[in-house]
Structure 1
Amino acid sequence: MSLMNVKSYAAGQWIAPDDTAREIESAITGHVIARAGTKGIDAQAMLDHARTIGGPNLRKLTFHDRARMLKALAQHLTENKQALYDISYNTGATKRDHAFDIDGGIGTTFVFASKGRREMPDGHVLSDGDLEQLSRSGSFLGQHICTPLLGAAVHINAFNFPVWGMLEKLAPTLLAGMPAIVKPATATCYVTEACVRLMLEADILPEGALQLVSGSIGDMLDRLDCQDVVSFTGSAATATKLRSNPNLVQNSTRFMAEQDSLNASILGPDAEPGTPEFDLFIKEAATEITTKAGQKCTATRRILAPEDHVDAVIEALSERLSKATVGDPRLEDTRMGALVSADQKRDVLEKLDILGTEAKRVFGAPDDFLINGDDAQTGAFLPPMLYHCTDPDNAQRIHDTEAFGPVSTIMGYRDIGHAVELANRGGGSLVTSLITHDPATARELTLGTAAFHGRLYINDRTSMKESTGHGAPMPHMVHGGPGRAGGGEELGGIRGVKHYMQRTAIQGSPDMLSAITGKWVPGAETHERPAHPFTRKFTELAIGDTLHTQSRTVTLEDIETFAHFTGDTFYAHMDDEAAKRNPFFPGRVAHGYLLISFAAGLFVEPNEGPVLANTGLDNLRFMKPVSAGDAIKVQLIVKAKTPRTPDYGEVRWHVTLTNQDDEKVAEYELLTMNAT
């Protein structure tokens, strides 16, 4: 193939590599296939472009606009992902590896697009938590809100996932309303550049929302301030160097790191050979060693098994690994491809020498294995390798040295307490997995290890068919870990979006908070109109639109009829003396659900109209019992509106039931779908 000149995209212009560019080799053949890098990148111009053009363009859009934008990007990448597959083979990735990187990145983007529409408002302010009443009468309230930071998000990504590594950071950043400057690892930046080109050529993103640095970012970190964010994935040594940048420290610039991780996988004491859990453990351990040639931040580096089962694990895992054909990832019968580069291969071999001082290699020979494919004999290949440490208590390097390749070390544990101790010796990791069918074991291990791990993956015969795997971070769940894993956090649904936003406490009157958040706050202004609100379409309803109903008296006959009709003959509704002995009731009282039913009868407009369906109730509370002879009335207020499709949207109504003395007897939020 012809030599690729990998360009940067800065301030709206593509910039070609210059004579300072670094050569990039194919992981398969070792031949030079690309060059990237230039000393001509103007870091300040990129930051200015992001801050003054990209940020304002994104912040004009609502969260739902940005979510639709992400969905369109994901759809466009799906339609063109074969081009990314074709170029990714040179990173050493197999077809199966593409599912983790390319498909995984696209899928993550789809998830954030969906969550943005489902869990965020169609507005510019995200409320965080519940309203806080700061005064007795409710005239002074507090609310936490999140708004996008006004700077640029600098994403510094690792070599192992050139697509997923970019998209899993980019999706929440753009959804938050913040522009991104992406800096991929040079070794695989040609794949990232191809993906960025696809996104930019689709003309979906507003100008300035996305820029790309292929090569060095120069002095960009020296130019960041408190409105910027650095999100880093890579080695602990590099993370320490970057996060200690004096300018970042002085300006308290947000720095999120996802770095080295000595992840563990634990075989439960109950998972003996012959059980479904034992077979599952061997399968998952082999997958983690061979997928992406072990070049995953979540790969299993330490395998913990009961001392009595260590030999069985070594035997079964060695047999499974022996079937892993290593070689040219383009060939159909290849199961494991190459490491990303010759440099990475050398690094793994150096780490093997360190591990070898405390553990014995029991499977795989780095200098004697078959490579599938005639063109791949000079590539960066290593076989899957398994080490065994017989004294993990007195070992150190197996707990602090990560060979970032197809390598794992097995060790025995005496009991759950010992397994917890060994797992935590990693000093903080992204994930530890436990394969067990015993809930007590799962609980004990969780309580012992959760503080040291960002994710605990527990699997057994019940969940194995649908589980996602030890090494697969899901966009719905947080990805990160304490200690040596970096102390950062990514993904996690809307939690990940908030990393690119500022949480602010706002205080004021109900009207002020309602105006800021875009949703009705108790005590804020309401307005009644002549027409019933159920006769108005979604687009015609306004926040604060209100209906006050007539009263209805609840009779003893109503209570008894409801009891017999529903079968709910609880004593508080049927036995006056028994009810009086209950500290909550003055005597026989109406069913709470009877009151909700009567409330609907009071506020519903029965004719066909814009209200299409009642989809549920939230936050239902009963505050005061209603006895026979009491009268109830309803106040119905439009609290919030959320578009769902071009044809309908969700209306959230604040519903309050009061009695003849204007005391609250019940309160809840009603959800309806209304035609637009």
Structure 2
Amino acid sequence: MVTQSQVDLLRPASYVYGSWHSTLEGQTLLDAVYGRPVAVISSEGVNFGEALAYGRRAGGALRRMTFHERARALRALGTYLMERKEAYYALSTLTGATRRDSWVDIEGGIGTLFSYASAARRELPDERFWPDGRVERLGREGTFVGRHLLVPREGVAVQINAFNFPVWGMLEKFAPAFIGGMPSLVKPAPQTAYVTERVVRDIVASGLIPEGALQLVTGEPGDLLDHLEEQDVVGFTGSAATAAKLRVHPNVVARSVPFGVEADSLNASVLGLSVKPEDPEFALFVREVAREMTGKAGQKCTAIRRAVVPAHLVEAVTDGLRRELSRVTLGDPARDDVRMGALVSVEQRERVRETLAKLQSETRVLISGEATLLGGDRERGAFLDPTVLLCESPLTARGPHELEAFGPVVTLLPYDSHDDAVTLTKLGRGSLAGSIVTHDRAEATELVLGMASTHGRLLVLNRDNARENTGHGSPLPQLNHGGPGRAGGGSELGGLSAVRHHMNRVAVQADPTTLTRITREFVQGAQVQEDVVHPFRKSFDEIAVGDSLLTHRRTVTEADIVNFAALTGDHFYAHVDEIGAREGIFGKRVAHGYFLISAAAGMFVSPAPGPVLANYGLENLRFILPVGIGDTIRTRLTCKRRIRKDLRPGETRPTGVVEWLSEITNQDGALVATYDILTLVERARDAFDPPLADSSLDGPPLDGEAAGPAGEADRV
């Protein structure tokens, strides 16, 4: 727990152009629990133009790293921060957050680093650029082709964050920007900036990321937006009103600066018409609404603000919420017996009270009251008891769909039909997150499809996923974290689409050989390199993109087809029934497609032990022309790309994945089948491999990442 003497010393500084900058004078912040001075904060003296210019220059070092190098740095940084998390928890109590609230912010934020590191190593090439999509054939003869590439923007990712998640709010934006090769300039909200600053101090001290990859500005943003240039991007989290002002800033508009917004929204949770009070889903709905009201004292941009309830269940839901909320203890979040802390500041509490007063012109209070405070100061602290309102005419009312009380407040909206429920959710004009609680799949389908156009994310909650679901308001780095309309129109912060947001997409047009050289991925029609050494006798380090083997020929016989049918049990008429095949689409008996693949493997495999350890998979299989009895086939196997694999904990044998293009042709040279083969190939140890005695820096497997050498999640 942070003591008062420690509190008096908090003077969060800005970290810009390679050094820390602080001032003695500035805005005094009060802790949310007792109303005591906690920090003095200011951005006085920060040259915002210089900070942005420094980030653009320093970004060159970040852009010279490959995706996998950035991912390894991000993963090591996550491990480093996780070891120091208790210091962040101690500061977080001063913002009014309980340990549970802070877990989402602190460990959820650090977990985002692991998630993006895993996704980058799993799905992106070990290059500084990202070949995007397939190769497009632009000419009839195949000598003119095109492909899209993603490259890092040569600017700074300016990240303006809200007060409610000082750690996660920063790291959810920093991680994809870092993977995408863009340096970040973080501008946290002043109320909780001292928590953000402590994390940034540890990041800087770690030395794990290039200098300039992360800058921090505490205090006011000054003329920051005036210095933006065309290669910069802005990510904003906060109120819809502030977002509307910033995105039309003259310099942002003049320079066409991408401006991503995640704004607070009037999110809704719908209890299905099919649900009965005795059903598990009823209890799940009540608990979820209560949890969203009280988690972070309701200060979440994804929290449930509107509970859409069947009209005949309003009384039952009210009784359920009353019981659930009666168990919520209010007070000092540093105490183990407190479930809900304070709002971030007295000013924030007064704003919520003002909104409550406006809402009551169209609603009435169902649940309120003053709970016994377990620690903290009722007047000087920012405490507010949970409040439940009822709007009896929700289809004609305006307030519940336009006014957001950013605290522990929810409004019940009764409905009679699915159409009405969907209409009520849409009256919020766009939401980050919505949820539907029902076990009726037809009902869930109707509601999801009805609500989908106005939501960034929808959770269908029922008894089957109750144990594993992460909750209505919990964002996941693998999924979209944005929403249409009032929610800001942003959708970039989810999975690798968030990385794309920080990159420029360029279409490259060239001949196949040149495009292969540029992208380092083989393009059909490009020149190949044939060697006397069989490609399967080469290690990962020796294989080059374009290495190729043209096999001997093999004539397909009736015995081949009959034996394959007997071996596999595949007696499909096109292979074994002379009359049926003659009347079918091929006009004759043809070989099994999987026989062709097996025969091709027999032609190109080098059977003796060697650096190729295993077949890792087969992808993009297409059968193009039939092969009949008497046709002759041969295969060309060409190295398409190489993917270095990191050593996992406990592994001692370094490997990589080689993707081969396999093309089976007939006696006329026509392509009959094509597919990609992945092989696991031994490689030499390199500088990125951990010492044999310590693989700890690779960290624990997260987000479904397999610990074994050939887990599905490691596939690229």
TM-score exceeds 0.5: yes
| Partner residue in 2 for 1:617 | 618
Partner Cα distance (1:142, 1:664) in 2: 21
Matched, 1:567 2:573: no
- Counterpart of 2:47, as a letter, is D
Contact 1:169-1:490 within 8 A present in 2 as well: no
2:657: which partner in 1?
650
Aligned partner of 2:27 in structure 1 is 22
Give the letter for the 1:623 counterpart: I
The answer to whether the 8 A contact 2:43-2:221 is kept is: no
Query: Given the alignment, which residue of 423, 435, 441 partners 2:425?
Result: 423
Partner of 1:255: 259
Letter in 2 for 1:664: L
Give the letter for the 2:641 counterpart. Answer: A
Whether the 8 Å CA contact 1:51–1:179 is kept in 2: the answer is: yes
Superposition map of 1:279-358 within 5 A: 279-358=283-362
Instruction: Decide which of 98, 105, 110 is 1:101's aligned counterpart.
Output: 105
Seq. identity, %: 49
Give the counterpart letter for 2:530 in structure 1.
E
* 3-state secondary structure, aligned to 1:5: coil
Q: Residues 512-565 of structure 1: CA distance to partner in whole angstroms, max 9, x if unpaired? A: 222222211111121011111111111111111101110111111111111111
Counterparts of residues 491-506 of structure 1 (less than 5 Å): 491-506=493-508
1:37 Cα deviation from its structure 2 partner? 0.7
Aligned to 1:132: 136
User: CA contact under 8 A between 2:35 and 2:377: conserved in structure 1?
Assistant: no
Contact 1:371 1:377 in 2 (8 A): no
Provide the residue aligned with 1:605 in structure 2.
606
| Cα shift at 1:161 | 0.2
Equivalent residue letter for 2:461: N
Counterpart amino acid of 2:108?
G
Q: Deviations over 1:346-401 (max 9, x none)?
A: 11101100111111111123xx3321115666311111111111110111010011
Written as runs of structure 1 = structure 2, the 5 A alignment for 1:257-656 is 257-365=261-369, 368-373=370-375, 378-583=380-585, 585-646=586-647, 647-656=654-663
Cα offset, 1:72, TM superposition: 0.7
Contact 1:18 1:39 in 2 (8 A): no
Looking at structure 2, the residues matched to 225 and 44 of structure 1 have their Cα atoms a distance apart, in angstroms, of: 10
SS at match of 2:521: coil
Which segment drifts farther, 373-382 or 95-104? 373-382
Q: Which residue of 1 aligns with 2:157?
A: 153
Query: Does the 8 A contact of 2:454 with 2:483 survive in 1?
Result: yes
Mapped contact 2:331–2:376 kept (Cα < 8 A): no
SS at match of 2:456: coil
Q: Is the 8 A contact 1:318 1:363 kept in 2?
A: yes
C-alpha distance in structure 2 between counterparts of 1:650 and 1:375, whole Å: 60
Report the secondary structure of 2:331's partner residue.
coil
Instruction: Identify the match of residue 666 of structure 1 among 673, 681, 701.
Output: 673
Question: Does structure 2 retain, via aligned residues, the 8 Å contact 1:338–1:382?
Answer: yes
Cα distance in 1 for residues equivalent to 2:548 and 2:436 = 53
Q: Give 1:17 deviation, angstroms.
A: 2.5
1:285 and 1:302 map into 2 onto residues whose CA distance is 9
Structure 2 equivalent of residue 50 of structure 1: 55
Q: How far 1:279 moved relative to its partner? A: 1.1
In 1, Cα distance between equivalents of 2:522 and 2:275? 54
For 1:7, the equivalent position in structure 2 comes to 13
Partner SS for 2:330: coil
Instruction: Name the TM-score, length of structure 2 as normaliser.
Output: 0.93
Structure 1 range deviating more: 500-509 or 163-172: 500-509
SS at match of 1:454: strand
Q: Is the 8 A contact 2:93 2:334 kept in 1?
A: yes
Instruction: Tell me whether 1:65 sits opposite 2:65 in the alignment.
Output: no
Instruction: Decide whether the 8 Å contact of 2:264 with 2:302 is kept in 1.
Output: no
| Unaligned segments of structure 2, at least 5 residues | 648-653, 684-716
Residue-pair matches, total: 671
CA distance in 2: counterparts of 1:523 and 1:457, whole angstroms: 46
Q: Tell me the distance in 1 between the aligned counterparts of 2:625 and 2:356.
A: 70
Q: Deviation per CA, 1:483-514, whole angstroms, max 9, x where unpaired?
A: 11011124221111011111111111112222
1:184-223 maps to which residues of 2 (within 5 A)? 184-223=188-227
Distance 1:512 1:48 in 2: 35
2: distance between equivalents of 1:273 and 1:657? 62
Q: CA deviation at 1:32?
A: 0.6
Q: Which amino acid aligns with 1:618?
A: E
Decide whether aligned partners of structure 1 residues 195 and 562 sit closer, same or farther in structure 2, where only a CA change above 3 A counts.
same
Once structures 1 and 2 are overlaid, which stretch shifts more, 306-315 or 416-425? Answer: 306-315
Aligned-partner Cα distance in 2 for 1:17–1:395: 49
Give me the CA root mean square deviation: 1.1
2:91 is the alignment partner of 1:87: yes
TM-score (norm 1): 0.98
